[in-house]
Structure 1
Amino acid sequence: MFETIQGEGSFTGQPSIFIRLQGCPVGCSWCDTKHTWEIDPEREVSAPVMLSKNAETDEWAEFSIADLLQTIAENGWQAKHIVLTGGEPCMVDLEPLCRVFEESGFSIQVETSGTFEVLVSPKCWVTVSPKVNMRGGYKVLGSAMQRANEIKHPVATEQHVDDLKALLVEHQVTDTPVYLQPISQKERATQLAIDTCIANNWRLSIQVHKYIGIE
């Protein structure tokens, strides 16, 4: 849990508090948060210990909604935008958390692979980053694609672009903003994303936080 600048998608540049949930069975080969995949009971730590971490770890802690709000207050964080990420946050019902945070004056964004039902409040901004043919064998759900406020798709090859186009047709997604995000910021992937965005009137997401060297 940390305060930073959102570096991707529609909220790029927005001061945000990221809450990273542990656990994800999807198995993306290029995932940059593989330490969040497993919920190992032996790796559970206390909330204070978890909050003291400033490097990637597979340790995790249990927080209540009240604990999360208290943590924000105690740290003096000023951002009013909450990003629920992971891991795969939609493995759990997020609607109660969303509603409490919204009632406390925050906006909520969820970043999901689209492979689990999206259980959030009506006001929650849903970023679906659809994961196709990953190791975990999960299918991208039509309900997730339809609920998306934006679609953010990692690309490195033409096949990734073709996979996205097939999903958009299959689930009849026409008006949702589409962002392409080059995998690993490689030059070839970046050029492919640029060319594809221009050809399809899509948008480019370049992971600004990585370019400027922040979390």
Structure 2
Amino acid sequence: MSKYKINEIFETIQGEGQYTGTASIFVRLQGCPVGCSWCDTKQTWDQLESDKQPLSTIIVKTSDDPTWCDVDDSTILNTFVEQAYRAKHVVITGGEPCMFDLNPLCELLHSKGYSTQIETSGTFEIQAPEQTWVTVSPKINMKGGYKILASCMQRANEIKHPIARQVHVDELEQLLIEAPIKENTLIYLQPISQKISSTELAIETCKEKNWRLSVQVHKYIGIS
């Protein structure tokens, strides 16, 4: 069995990318050294022993706090059953989930009829089965100094790139030259913080390049 540091587990609707609108169970892992300035889950960055709690505390928490628990893949699956979650799509996010070997968890979930998706910054090697949907949200030139791995870009099923200014579009274009993606990989632009200027830039760029728009539907309708 593999152990995973869990910040939270909850059932909701996926609000981003290709799976927008899909009933999903989110498994949010603890730990991320990338240092994205606009990160909306900064409570997942550190893995302090002083924040460690039992799963029973983590599963019911309603605030964005840094508490986490250490559990194995079977316990995660059992939690889905005990909580009577109905969704059959599981989104493994963070933090940076690819700091962990996700093969055991994903393979177990697949054997029980779940589909899986990983949301990663592309800065750690992806350890997951081929049938797992991989969303790479490349965090370029962030505080932590981590580089986007060409292997992650090549593995991606979709690229979901947050943008606020033209420089972010330019950075993505340069990255796509340096680390090419597969021909059928989808490219989404996601406006940062739902700003009007960011949204307008994303829309115009998507029209120009035949890319797609991701608008974080969950934030517009007020769900987690």
1:48-197 maps to which residues of 2 (within 5 A)?
A: 48-173=56-181, 175=183, 176-197=185-206
Deviations 1:93-130 (A, max 9, x none): 10111101000100000000000000100100000000
> What is the RMSD computed on CA atoms of the aligned residues?
0.7
Give me the whole-angstrom Cα distance separating, in 1, the residues matched to 2:133 and 2:206: 22
Shift of 1:191: 0.3
Shift of 1:170: 1.0
Give me the whole-angstrom Cα distance separating, in 2, the residues matched to 1:132 and 1:171: 12
1:26 maps to: 34
Q: TM-score, normalised by structure 1?
A: 0.99
- Code of the aligned partner of 1:193: A
Q: Which runs of 5+ in 2 are unaligned?
A: 1-8
Q: TM-score, normalised by structure 2?
A: 0.95
Helix, strand or coil at the partner of 2:206: helix
Shift of 1:174: 5.4
Helix, strand or coil at the partner of 1:62: strand
Give me the whole-angstrom Cα distance separating, in 1, the residues matched to 2:192 and 2:48: 28
1:41 paired residue among 49, 59, 77: 49
1:206 maps to: 215
Helix, strand or coil at the partner of 1:209: helix
Helix, strand or coil at the partner of 1:13: coil
- Code of the aligned partner of 2:67: E
- Code of the aligned partner of 1:42: S
- Code of the aligned partner of 2:217: V
Give me the whole-angstrom Cα distance separating, in 2, the residues matched to 1:99 and 1:138: 28
Give me the whole-angstrom Cα distance separating, in 2, the residues matched to 1:145 and 1:210: 27
Helix, strand or coil at the partner of 2:69: coil
Q: Are the counterparts in 2 of residues 118 and 144 from structure 1 also a CA contact under 8 Å?
A: yes
Q: Which runs of 5+ in 1 are unaligned?
A: none
Helix, strand or coil at the partner of 1:151: strand
Shift of 1:172: 2.1
Select the structure that is richer in strand.
2
Helix, strand or coil at the partner of 1:181: strand
Helix, strand or coil at the partner of 2:34: coil
Shift of 1:173: 2.2
Shift of 1:84: 0.2
1:17 maps to: 25
Q: Are the counterparts in 2 of residues 156 and 189 from structure 1 also a CA contact under 8 Å?
A: yes
Q: Are the counterparts in 2 of residues 168 and 174 from structure 1 also a CA contact under 8 Å?
A: no
Identical positions, percent: 57
